[in-house]
Amino acid sequence: MDADDTTPVPPPGCPAHGSGGRVPLYGPEFAADPQAYYGFLRHYGPAAPVELAPGVEATLVTDYATALQLLQDSGTFRKDARRWRAFNEGKVGPDSPVAPLLAYRPNCMFADGADHLRLRQAVTDSMARVDTRRLSRSTEQISGYLISQFGARGSADLLGDYAKQLPLFVFNELFGCPADIGDRVLFGISGMFDGVNADKATAVLFQAVGELVALKRSRPGDDVTSWLMQHQAALTDEEMVHQLALLLGAGAEPLRNLIGNTLHRLLTHDRYAREGGLIDEALDDTLWENPPMSNYAPHYPATDVEFAGRHLQAGDLVLVSFAAANTGPALQATRQAGSNRAHLAWSAGPHACPSKEPARHITVSAIENLFNHLPDLRLAVPEDSLSWRHGPFHRALAALPARFTPVQPVHGADRADGPAPERTPGGPAARPERVGRWSQFLNWLTR
């Protein structure tokens, strides 16, 4: 699939010069202006040759109809990453920066056929049992707690202080984590995504999730972990651990970015008034134009195949650009005709996100509650000084500095002790109310 004579010539300054015609989707240039890249990639036709990290080659589908064709053809295109030829041949190592999101794990994201159906049914049935009123209530409580940590300052980084924290706290509640396990889940997921001590963070997460599974086997509760366990799919302990780690990981990072990107839209587009209905509209516009998962849905052809004008070998890595498909010319007419949910931000086909309703719900509640408490919220820096995190898969702000009129803490106003120090997992025991962040939230809630 190397560039041939028909390969478009990149515009001057485009880093595709000198990389064998493959367009690199990493680094600061791509993060600064991904739409310019998608515009260029469309010159190749419905699919284009890209590089996800130095030396990691892939084919990226940028056209909507072609993307749907791929996502719905699970006979030709498989999800099981043990088929990934470049990985099997050692051309991409487990230490590659893209390996954590691409290398095989035994969970529903990397399963095909009957295995996938069984694992996924357990997830969808368990998520369907989530009570939306309870979800709203806990999102509001957690939102109130986070606002109480920065409200008196009159300024905050809405990414680091809010959008990043909220999903992790909500998940601890949804999955029924007691304080000591929840603290380690928070530590593990944050570390994995921040890439700081990622190995240790992953080990802490898997250990904590393992303990949660053991706990719920002996004392089930009214939570997603127990419902997964009680499901007729009869998941083993090992399957439970991998499913839970997937749900927490696949949920927390895109949810953070959905909250962040929707807040960004609300703060940078005057036309949205800060009311419930318009938050929904800003959320949909974000899913169309700035989806949190911008390029993903890794698939591998089962055999050699001609697809979208390209020759693919069995085991070649093919991804879908949800961001390019959503914004391409083919979809503009559909969108203008009023179909507001035809976008691919949640993917499509058998592996489409099984949690879009709870994810929407958490996002809208989190944003509504924030504007209810801080009605004059505004950007603290010029829009063009905001920076976006690098990486081929996500559309994610690095920070979202904002200002507002300072407010007194919404609950627990008597507590002037500020955030408790992070507890090092396995470190010395501390006074119960001064340990990790999940414990701190639970203390705040019961005061």
Q: Which of residues 119-138 bind ligand HEM (CB under 6 A)?
A: 120, 123
Among 67, 147, 179, 359, binds ligand HEM (CB under 6 A): 359
Judged by CB under 6 A, the residue of 358, 391, 392, 425 near ligand HEM is: 358
Q: Given the rule CB under 6 A, which of 177-185, 268-276, 289-297, 415-423 is the region that contacts ligand HEM?
A: 289-297
Q: How far is the CB of 163 from ligand HEM (least distance, A)?
A: 11
Longest dimension (CA), the chain: 71
CB neighbours of residue 258 within 10 Å: 27
**Near ligand HEM in 293-332, by CB under 6 A:** 293, 296-297
Q: How far apart are the C-alpha atoms of 183 and 423, rounded to whole Å? A: 8
User: Could you tell me how far CA 212 lies from the centroid of its own chain?
Assistant: 23
Which CB sits closer to ligand HEM, 166 or 297? 297
Contact of 58 with 50, CB cutoff 8 Å? yes
Which range binds ligand HEM by CB under 6 A, 15-23, 203-211, 275-283, 352-360? Answer: 352-360
Q: Compute the Cα dihedral for 365, 362, 200, 85 and give only its sign.
A: negative
Options 21, 292, 315, 391; binder of ligand HEM; rule CB under 6 A: 292
Restricted to residues 222-261, the positions that interact with ligand HEM (CB under 6 A) are 246-247, 250-251, 254-255, 258
Q: Show the binding pattern over residues 410-429: x = contacts ligand HEM (CB under 6 A), - = does not.
A: --------------------
In angstroms, what is the minimal distance from the CB of 67 to ligand HEM? 11
Name the DSSP class of 251: H
Judged by DSSP in three states, 405 sits in coil
**Structure token digits, residue 181:** 């396990």
Bridge partner list, 47: 61
Shortest distance in whole angstroms from residue 257 CB to ligand HEM: 7
- If the CB atoms of residues 393 and 404 are measured against ligand HEM, the closer one turns out to be 393
Give the Å distances, CA to CA, from 442 to 87, 134, 202, 220, 372: 44, 16, 24, 20, 23
Residues that contact ligand HEM, how many (by CB under 6 A): 25
Residue whose token pair is 């809405």: 158
Q: Please list, in sequence order, all residues whose beta carbon lies within 8 angstroms of the beta carbon of residue 407, skipping any fewer than 6 positions away.
A: 147, 151, 152, 373, 374
Q: What is the C-alpha to C-alpha distance for residues 256 and 243, in angstroms, rounded to an integer? A: 20
Position among 355, 369, 439, 440 found at the interface with ligand HEM (CB under 6 A): 355
DSSP secondary structure string for all residues of 173-208: HHTT--HHHHHHHHHHHHHHHHTSSHHHHHHHHHHH
What does the per-residue mask of binding to ligand HEM show for 200-219, with x meaning CB under 6 A?
--------------------
Interface contacts to ligand HEM, rule CB under 6 A: 108-109, 120, 123, 246-247, 250-251, 254-255, 258, 291-293, 296-297, 345-347, 351, 353-355, 358-359
